[in-house]
């Protein structure tokens, strides 16, 4: 999606490079990436992103470099495996892809995209699917100017992940969650712990009681809470406050024995059945990084209403929909409007 390549776009633009985007705007048949998937190609030869599973990117890279060299922006149609010989097997995702290849928007549109991503504000972005492929931004689809077909992507702020406890595990969780598009806030009432350098990837580290922070900043069903201090004097208060709110996921660190004692202490608490403990999927995690992966994997699975099992043992669509506790700024409604 556009947010996935934007740091590359801004870095290359600051270095004086020109950048062309290749964006997946139509598809007939199956595909490995969603509409809105984007490649960014710079005039210094660097590039990032993808619109498929790797089977069409070389062709699109060549077309993007032609636009960098002066060719007209255009809407190209490409099929994975189209260059194979008749006896060679085509990839399963052999649907027809419509890819718009055009320069990064300039002026106010470029500034608006950067500002929305930096400040996590929602933004509706449209590009006309006919020459000269004009870009526009608005607060909603209805506000987009012009007529005819547009490809529209609605940039939405990513969900919030509240980490209770500025621990080493919180640092590992924050680093991974930020890369997934979450806004991460860490709350810890212990001054010796609530130091920004302890959780450098977090958006904010606050010294305070979690129930007070939650009272001042209610969470939505897209947001998640992970309680990781391993101190019941803090954890229990955080769990009570989180379960009283609307957070789509509430999980707590601890062994099965620790969690059993926790349930005894909190017996009768409304919403206690919503608490995930021990938090995480069964990965056999040992290190901090593996534990963070396990816990965030459960956050994503719950948000997408999935069980978190092995794909080889499951049926149905692989890609989930943005749900209660997952997603990032690039996710949201994408598609054609006219």
Sorted by where each begins, the domain ranges of the chain are 1-104, 107-156, 160-310
The encoded tokens of residue 336 equal 């054609």
44 vs 309, more confident? 44
pLDDT value at position 28?
A: 80
Average pLDDT over residues 17-31: 87
pLDDT exceeds cutoff 60 at 324: no
Distance separating alpha carbons of residues 328 and 207, to the nearest angstrom:
26
pLDDT exceeds cutoff 70 at 277: yes
Alpha helix (H) residue ranges in 23-165 = 57-68, 107-119
- Rounded to 5 degrees, φ, ψ at 276 are -95, 115
pLDDT value at position 84?
A: 45
**Range in 65-74, 84-93, 300-309, 311-320 the model is least confident about:** 84-93
pLDDT value at position 323?
A: 37
Per-residue confidence at 302, pLDDT binned at 50, 70, 90? very high
**Helix or strand run (H / E) with residue 163:** strand 160-164
The encoded tokens of residue 27 equal 């598809």
pLDDT exceeds cutoff 50 at 329: no
pLDDT exceeds cutoff 90 at 299: yes
Per-residue confidence at 309, pLDDT binned at 50, 70, 90? confident
- Name the range with the highest mean pLDDT among 1-5, 78-82, 127-131, 270-274: 270-274
Q: What is the CATH number of domain 160-310?
A: 3.40.50.720
pLDDT in tens, 63-93: 999 999 999 999 999 876 555 444 444 554 5
pLDDT in tens, 143-190: 777 667 889 998 888 899 999 999 999 999 999 999 888 999 999 999
Residue 134 in contact with residue 107, Cβ under 8 Å? no
**Helix or strand run (H / E) with residue 188:** strand 183-188
Q: Coil, helix or strand for 28?
A: strand
Q: Coil, helix or strand for 260?
A: helix
pLDDT exceeds cutoff 60 at 124: yes
Q: For the chain, give the mean pLDDT.
A: 87
176 vs 330, more confident? 176
The pTM for the full model equals 0.75
CB within 8 Å of 76: residues ≥ 6 apart: 60, 63, 98, 99, 100, 101
pLDDT in tens, 89-118: 455 455 688 999 999 999 999 999 999 888
Helix axes 2-14, 107-119, angle to 10 degrees: 120
pLDDT exceeds cutoff 50 at 219: yes
pLDDT value at position 199?
A: 97
pLDDT in tens, 25-54: 988 866 678 889 999 999 999 999 998 866
Q: Which single residue is written with the structure tokens 């209660």? A: 324
Average pLDDT over residues 220-236: 95
């Amino acid at each position: 999606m556009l947010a996935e390549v934007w740091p590359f776009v801004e870095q290359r633009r600051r270095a004086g490079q020109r950048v062309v985007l290749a964006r997946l705007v139509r598809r007939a048949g199956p595909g490995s990436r969603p509409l809105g998937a984007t490649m960014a190609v710079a005039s210094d030869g660097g590039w990032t992103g993808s619109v498929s599973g790797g089977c069409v990117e070389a062709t699109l890279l060549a077309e993007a470099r032609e636009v960098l060299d002066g060719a007209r922006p255009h809407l190209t149609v490409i099929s994975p495996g189209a260059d194979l010989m008749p006896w060679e097997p085509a990839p399963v995702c052999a649907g027809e892809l419509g890819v718009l290849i055009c320069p990064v928007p300039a002026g106010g549109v470029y500034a608006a995209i950067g500002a929305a991503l930096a400040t996590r504000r929602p933004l509706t972005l449209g590009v006309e699917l006919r020459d000269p492929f004009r870009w526009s931004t608005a607060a909603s689809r209805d506000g987009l100017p012009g007529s005819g077909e547009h490809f529209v992507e609605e940039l939405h702020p990513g969900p919030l992940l509240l980490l209770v406890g500025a621990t080493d595990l919180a640092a590992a969780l924050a680093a991974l969650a930020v890369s997934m598009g979450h806004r991460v806030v860490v709350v810890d009432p212990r001054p010796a712990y609530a130091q920004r350098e302890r959780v450098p990837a977090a958006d904010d580290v606050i010294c305070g009681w979690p129930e007070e922070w939650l009272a001042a900043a209610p969470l939505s069903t897209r947001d998640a809470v992970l309680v990781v201090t391993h101190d019941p004097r803090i954890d229990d208060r955080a769990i009570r406050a989180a379960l009283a709110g609307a957070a789509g996921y509430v999980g707590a660190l601890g062994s099965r024995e620790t969690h059993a004692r926790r349930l005894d202490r909190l017996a009768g608490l409304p919403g206690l059945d919503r608490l995930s403990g021990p938090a995480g999927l069964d990965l056999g995690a040992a290190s901090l990084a593996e534990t963070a992966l396990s816990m965030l994997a459960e956050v994503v699975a719950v948000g997408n209403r999935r069980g978190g099992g092995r794909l080889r043992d499951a049926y149905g669509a692989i890609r989930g929909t943005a749900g209660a506790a997952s997603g990032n700024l690039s996710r949201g409604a994408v598609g054609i409007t006219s």
